[in-house]
């Protein structure tokens, strides 16, 4: 154990210790993501509409909050800027909730951009923390690579698959992220058990 600790930086040790202390929560989160992912993959058209409705509600709530915050603006330019952004969020939220099918292409493009960022982040993070979590970093890397492969599929089949891609991509993303988190929880639990065994 001392040999492992001497090879880690303080930041890596802190990340490892935080994961060790919360491995049960990680396991619960991972299993929940796997279940949601399987459901989304099983019914991709329904999950596409569900994702769009969810995003519509987010924009609607953001617009309402923006209108409330607008009255605390200090000057006219801040008031106008808050009013414009709140009105746009509100209008987009209402549009997505009123006609959820029509916005699937735009939201699919937006989600694709998010998956690119998430995939790159997971790949970079898995490589950066491979010493801190030697049993889990490969799963995180695989999850990031899967995100980028899904992005390539979406771009290749565009725009024909826009009606079901959003739900399918979200489902596969949830599934791979859930598996990565579950494997990280198992790895963290393994470190805890090895420490407990060493103290006996």
57-87 pLDDT tens trace: 888 888 888 888 777 767 676 677 778 888 8
pLDDT of residue 4: 47
Decide: 50 and 42 in contact? Cβ < 8 Å.
no
**Mean pLDDT throughout 12-36?**
75
**Mean pLDDT throughout 13-38?**
77
d(CA 147, CA 156): 14
pLDDT bracket for residue 145 (50, 70, 90): very high
Judged against a pLDDT cut of 80, whether residue 187 lies above it is answered with: no
Decide: 169 and 111 in contact? Cβ < 8 Å.
yes
d(CA 179, CA 139): 8
Q: Which two tokens stand for residue 166?
A: 């959003």
**Mean pLDDT throughout 147-162?**
82
pTM to 2 decimal places: 0.55
pLDDT-wise least confident of 6-20, 141-155, 174-188: 6-20
pLDDT of residue 20: 63
Residue-wise pLDDT tens digits, 94-136 = 887 887 777 777 777 777 887 888 888 888 888 887 777 777 7
């Amino acid at each position: 154990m001392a040999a492992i600790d001497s090879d880690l930086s303080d930041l890596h040790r802190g990340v490892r210790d935080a994961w060790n202390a919360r491995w049960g929560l990680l396991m619960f989160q991972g299993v929940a993501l796997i279940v949601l992912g399987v459901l989304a993959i099983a019914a991709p058209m329904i999950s596409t509409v569900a994702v769009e409705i969810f995003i519509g509600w987010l924009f609607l709530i953001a617009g309402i909050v923006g209108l409330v915050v607008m009255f605390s603006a200090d000057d006219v330019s801040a008031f106008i800027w808050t009013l414009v952004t709140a009105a746009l969020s509100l209008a987009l939220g209402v549009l997505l909730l009123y006609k959820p099918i029509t916005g699937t292409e735009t939201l699919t493009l937006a989600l694709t951009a998010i998956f690119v960022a998430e995939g790159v982040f997971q790949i970079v993070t898995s490589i950066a923390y491979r010493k801190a979590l030697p049993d889990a970093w490969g799963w995180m890397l695989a999850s990031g690579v899967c995100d980028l492969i899904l992005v390539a599929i979406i771009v290749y089949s565009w725009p024909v698959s826009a009606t079901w891609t959003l739900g399918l991509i979200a489902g596969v993303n949830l599934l791979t992220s859930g598996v990565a988190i579950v494997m990280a929880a198992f790895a963290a639990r393994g470190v805890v058990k090895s420490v407990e065994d060493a103290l006996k």
